[in-house]
């Protein structure tokens, strides 16, 4: 029994250190990346909504390993286009991120403002290319004496002794910095938007984006060491491909990012079934669809996902199943993620000002 406890304690310690340092090595990111447009690319501002779009995100992870890591996000963006014959349109957005990690209560809070401009590539206005910029403000804090926090130097060889020094250098428990500049470009295609008249069973949508975050590389360190945040490079794409004469669509996508020594490769697909199409004339019937599928985070986890859509609402629920070496301690249990998207206009009804819902 004592041997099993020792093995578990070692696994727990290794897992905790891994997760702790991973949180420093890379930005906050969600499994449902298609539900976090401004986290992916500032050029996403205004691109997939006719009027205004709001999204809420929540993620709870590593509950099976240590004190759970809780991440929340909220964003709002809108399109600005006053003239029907304009050659392009502006998009603006704001997003908020908050994260609390482990017993040490490492907290991260960020507010970002984004602006983008998109140009129509054809007269029918179903394809655009655009660019966006973002600036933000960040606050970090930590509790070195949090409940349940222990340090390696406080083990005397036989047991834990809280009276021993932590061995950590003196440092601030909080600091702030400005994340002055991030930028991105985006290509978007939707044959149901603009002035085309395409049947729902021939719907085709695609997005391809490239972005760079933390271009000015702000300093971030509790110990005032002068360490700078790594720039993050993001390449991603997703699409919706309808099968003619059916209610079924495929929504494949991928994400790749690199930030310093950390990187992620994340391909996958969803299968979408349209339960009910909205009425184009009376608006009495509201469109409804359900999507099932998953994404593979290479060498880390599988995210099983379900998305429910009704009118201007979309609810996404996913669960990360851990497949990395950490599964020894986590038993494969990663964490649950929930996203809620609300659009002010019914995304199932075509309009020359935008597109239908896109997840």
DSSP 200-249: GGG-EEEEEEEEEE-TT--B--TT----BPPPEEEEEEEEEEEPTTSSEE
Distance (Å, rounded) from C-alpha 273 to C-alpha 227? 48
Nearest to 336 by CA among 75, 100, 107, 64: 64
Q: What is the pLDDT of residue 92?
A: 94
pLDDT at 347 over 70: no
Residue-range domains of the chain with CATH: 20-343 (2.40.160.40)
Mean pLDDT is lowest, of 8-22, 65-79, 186-200, 227-241, for 8-22
Judged by phi (left if over 0) then psi (alpha if -120 to 50, else beta), residue 44 lies in: alpha
Taking the alpha carbons at both ends of the chain, their separation in whole angstroms is 49
Question: What is the chain's mean pLDDT, rounded?
Answer: 81
Question: With pLDDT > 90 as the criterion, what percentage of the chain qualifies?
Answer: 47
Nearest to 120 by CA among 152, 153, 88: 88
Q: Dihedral angle at the C-alpha atoms of 44, 48, 52, 54, nearest 10 degrees?
A: -70
Cβ atoms of 30 and 71 within 8 Å: the answer is: yes
pLDDT at 143 over 90: no
Q: What is the pLDDT of residue 145?
A: 67
Please name the residue that has the structure tokens 């696994």.
11
pLDDT digits over 164-191, tens only? 777 666 566 788 999 999 999 999 998 8
Give the pTM: 0.81
């Amino acid at each position: 029994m004592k041997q099993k406890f020792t093995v578990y304690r070692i696994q727990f310690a290794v897992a905790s250190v891994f997760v702790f340092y991973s949180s420093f090595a890379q930005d906050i990111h969600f499994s449902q990346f298609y539900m976090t447009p401004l986290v992916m690319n500032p050029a996403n501002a205004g691109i997939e909504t006719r009027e205004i779009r709001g999204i809420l995100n929540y993620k709870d992870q590593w509950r099976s390993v240590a004190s759970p890591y809780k991440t929340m996000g909220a964003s709002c963006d809108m399109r600005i286009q006053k003239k029907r014959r304009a050659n392009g349109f502006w998009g603006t957005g704001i997003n908020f991120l908050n994260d609390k990690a482990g017993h040490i209560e490492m907290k991260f809070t960020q507010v970002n403002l984004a602006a983008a401009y998109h140009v129509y590539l054809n007269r029918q206005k179903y394809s655009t290319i655009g660019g966006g910029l973002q600036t933000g403000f960040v606050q970090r804090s930590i509790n070195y004496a949090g409940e349940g926090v222990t340090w390696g130097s406080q083990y005397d060889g036989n047991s834990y002794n809280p009276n021993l020094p932590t061995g950590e250098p003196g440092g601030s428990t909080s600091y702030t910095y400005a994340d002055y500049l991030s930028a991105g470009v985006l290509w978007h295609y939707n044959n149901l938007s603009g002035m085309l008249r395409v049947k729902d069973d021939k719907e085709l949508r695609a997005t391809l984006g490239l972005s760079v975050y933390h271009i000015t590389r702000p300093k971030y360190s509790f110990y005032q060491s002068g360490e700078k945040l790594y720039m993050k490079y993001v390449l991603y794409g997703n699409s919706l491909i309808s099968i003619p004469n059916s209610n079924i669509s495929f929504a494949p996508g991928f994400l790749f990012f690199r930030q310093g020594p950390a990187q992620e490769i994340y391909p996958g697909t969803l299968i979408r079934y349209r339960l009910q199409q909205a009425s184009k004339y009376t608006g009495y019937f509201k469109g409804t669809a359900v999507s099932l599928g998953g994404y593979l985070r290479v060498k880390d986890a599988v995210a099983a996902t379900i998305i429910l859509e009704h009118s201007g609402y979309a609810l996404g629920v996913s669960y990360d199943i851990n497949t990395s070496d950490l599964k020894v301690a986590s038993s494969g249990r990663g964490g649950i993620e929930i996203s809620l998207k609300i659009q002010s206009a019914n995304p199932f009804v075509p309009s020359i000002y935008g597109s239908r819902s896109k997840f």
